[in-house]
Structure 1
């Protein structure tokens, strides 16, 4: 009997140690599942069943149990019954994880949105585009290329090909349409960069200035410029690992104010000599944008009035954290067509339907390779200067997000290609080279 008690006590100790050790992981697991579920249902208008079997159907997130409250507009996820997290929806701001019960009852400012233009043809409005057939386009070859892209193993949800401002190919997976909002993940970073281009064009900011943080003025971080931050080349410490309890996972699922974590990090390298991909840096840049406005309402409105709604990306929702800051690293939702409009803005060198949002110099700046990035990165925009895709022109650049969200821009071909999915299985080099070969 004594031996049995010892064995049971030992097992109890092992279980307690295991729970304590894994508790932070359970927090992230449940947090991811709840946030994903709330956004999928209340932003993208999907069902719990679809979200569970698609977006949340990967290890270990599929171990969480999800429930929704349609009256409260919330989603709750449980990790083995040991820990629960709740995410809730706020009109105009998207979904966010609650850190305490009081968060659900607070009042939140929301951005003022423009009404969609449903009479002007795509791309400058949301009406059907004018019928255009290009004699130099092999439509059959493009469709064959998309056939490969939409093989089940590639998990592609949407693809849009825009040539000379006209959609020449478009396809959606079952259950998705041209009106389906899709999460861009880190493509949101390119929106943040673009806003700096808009601010600079409006003479409201100079990216060569030092980053505006009082705490940095007391040490070597005072040398870091906004330019360094835009290029992810500040030398600041940051761990961007989604498979562990890391800086990025703690920021996205445990922080109230996501603009803060990177500010508190020390230098571990030299500015302009230490490229390190960091979602914390992008959210810090969102905080710098906030500093340009006297009121929080002005900050919320600016993203839409001066960029998103201005180019007719009316489907887009950029979600905020609990402190009201746009999560510029990760959380923008829009239709595939609207994602293509951001690419077209760059393709047209900052002009949109005759109006200049930023000039060509910003495009050159944003697509100039960052030192020590091997030609892969510009200012929150990915590049092909390092020939990551060998059969694609070096001049191509792109917005990129988790699980293969991409907007590819081809300045020489007057072409934008959008691919949205649930994995990076698709062979991008084959896809893009096939589309380029379709245009003679």
Structure 2
């Protein structure tokens, strides 16, 4: 209960800290702010953009960084094949994007957190104890193995995306048995996320579903670059396969940083923000995995929970993020009014969230600026 109360306090501060009339918003493009310069920015660039080794794919390999401060674009840089116009694969950042789409549906009254998933997705009829809340917290209790290319034979997610499950990813997930009580154990699962995408399909109907992420979220935010792959059954691959430019991804960050509000429209209800930015109540940090972010509702949090310190000590504790495979990240720092989108092609674990955030915070939250 203390963790929940503290989480609600964080969310309340986030939701109440904006004066509507004073905010700057992007239109077709982002308004430009003063560009930071100096030693702090140089130190950030040495870490984020070292000489790129495309032959071995070793080391930190950043494709893009976009920094928004108080609604203005103050920094961007690109590397590799990526440019400002490139819709970059978001990998598991897609989960946080889908959570935002679902947040709009939640505000429209299409579902409640404690609804059984089976109410919105018929193949879950055999899992009536699993709720929408459980899926959003990656706590379904399904016997899922989220291993990647390092353990492909036993990997549930590799099978879902590329082999046995690719034709209908949500149905593939529904066929897994339980090996834990729903809601009691965190287990990161791309399958849970794809079932959420399938529930949205039933909620909004077959006619509206193909356009719903655009009509509900992308168009109101002015996002024009979004591409979202669907599996062979027609369900969006909510776990993995959204693409958009770094500038457009930052619009979702601004929506979240400003408490779900876009200009004069409250797109995401406050109750939704309070849920997705609260730690999963039964999360138990593991000492051997220090530095791993705390799970919220398809978002990742920099929170001190269950006696463990915040995973990113050099960032404010109310920092939260969308994270994806191979170094994809969008960090939101409400206190600094900062949004940082990073696209990447990291392959060897050299990149560290906290090191990046420490340098970015120094460079962009209070660095010298030039007109």
- Taking the aligned partners of 2:229 and 2:192, their CA distance within structure 1 comes to 17
| 1:244 maps onto 2:152 in alignment | yes
Q: Is the 8 A contact 2:67 2:76 kept in 1?
A: yes
Q: Using a 3 Å threshold, how does the CA distance of structure 1 residues 227 and 252 change in structure 2: closer, same or farther?
A: same
1:380 corresponds, among 291, 298, 308, to 298
Which consecutive segments of 4 or more residues in structure 1 shift more than 4 A? 137-140, 213-218
Aligned to 2:272: 362
| 1:390 maps onto 2:299 in alignment | no
- Taking the aligned partners of 1:291 and 1:357, their CA distance within structure 2 comes to 21
Q: CA deviation at 1:346?
A: 0.2
Q: Using a 3 Å threshold, how does the CA distance of structure 1 residues 300 and 223 change in structure 2: closer, same or farther?
A: same
| 1:411 maps onto 2:334 in alignment | yes
> What pairs up with 1:30-429 in 2 under 5 angstroms?
124-127=26-29, 129-133=30-34, 140-151=39-50, 152=52, 153-212=59-118, 213-214=121-122, 216-217=124-125, 221-242=127-148, 243-245=151-153, 246-254=155-163, 255-294=166-205, 296-373=206-283, 374=285, 376-386=294-304, 387-423=310-346, 424-429=349-354
Deviations 1:193-241 (A, max 9, x none): 11221111111211221112556555xx322110011001121111111
Instruction: Structure 1: give runs of 5+ residues left out of the alignment.
Output: 1-121
Q: Using a 3 Å threshold, how does the CA distance of structure 1 residues 278 and 349 change in structure 2: closer, same or farther?
A: same
Instruction: Structure 2: give runs of 5+ residues left out of the alignment.
Output: 1-23, 53-58, 286-292, 305-309, 367-371
- TM-score with structure 2 length normalisation? 0.80
| 1:433 maps onto 2:332 in alignment | no
Deviations 1:42-69 (A, max 9, x none): xxxxxxxxxxxxxxxxxxxxxxxxxxxx
Q: Is the 8 A contact 2:31 2:71 kept in 1?
A: no
Aligned-CA RMSD value: 1.9
Deviations 1:155-210 (A, max 9, x none): 11100111101111111114322111210000001112112211111112112211
Q: Is the 8 A contact 2:123 2:171 kept in 1?
A: no
- Taking the aligned partners of 1:176 and 1:404, their CA distance within structure 2 comes to 14
Once the two structures are overlaid, the 10-residue window that deviates more, 354-363 or 233-242, is: 354-363
Partner SS for 2:221: coil
- Taking the aligned partners of 1:330 and 1:180, their CA distance within structure 2 comes to 17
- Taking the aligned partners of 2:77 and 2:325, their CA distance within structure 1 comes to 20
Q: Is the 8 A contact 1:139 1:168 kept in 2?
A: no
Q: Is the 8 A contact 1:376 1:385 kept in 2?
A: yes
Partner SS for 1:162: strand
Question: Higher relative contact order by CA 8 Å / sep ≥ 6: 1 or 2?
Answer: 2
- Taking the aligned partners of 2:101 and 2:31, their CA distance within structure 1 comes to 30
Aligned to 1:34: none
- Taking the aligned partners of 1:201 and 1:193, their CA distance within structure 2 comes to 12
- The number of residues matched between the two structures is 313
Q: Using a 3 Å threshold, how does the CA distance of structure 1 residues 340 and 140 change in structure 2: closer, same or farther?
A: farther
Q: CA deviation at 1:293?
A: 2.5
- Taking the aligned partners of 2:358 and 2:44, their CA distance within structure 1 comes to 9
Q: Using a 3 Å threshold, how does the CA distance of structure 1 residues 417 and 350 change in structure 2: closer, same or farther?
A: same
Q: CA deviation at 1:143?
A: 4.2
Q: CA deviation at 1:131?
A: 4.2
Deviations 1:132-172 (A, max 9, x none): 338xx666523431232101231111001111011111111
- Taking the aligned partners of 1:429 and 1:141, their CA distance within structure 2 comes to 16
Deviations 1:246-287 (A, max 9, x none): 211111012211111111111111122111111111111111
Q: Is the 8 A contact 2:173 2:192 kept in 1?
A: yes
Q: Is the 8 A contact 1:124 1:353 kept in 2?
A: no
Q: Is the 8 A contact 2:25 2:31 kept in 1?
A: no
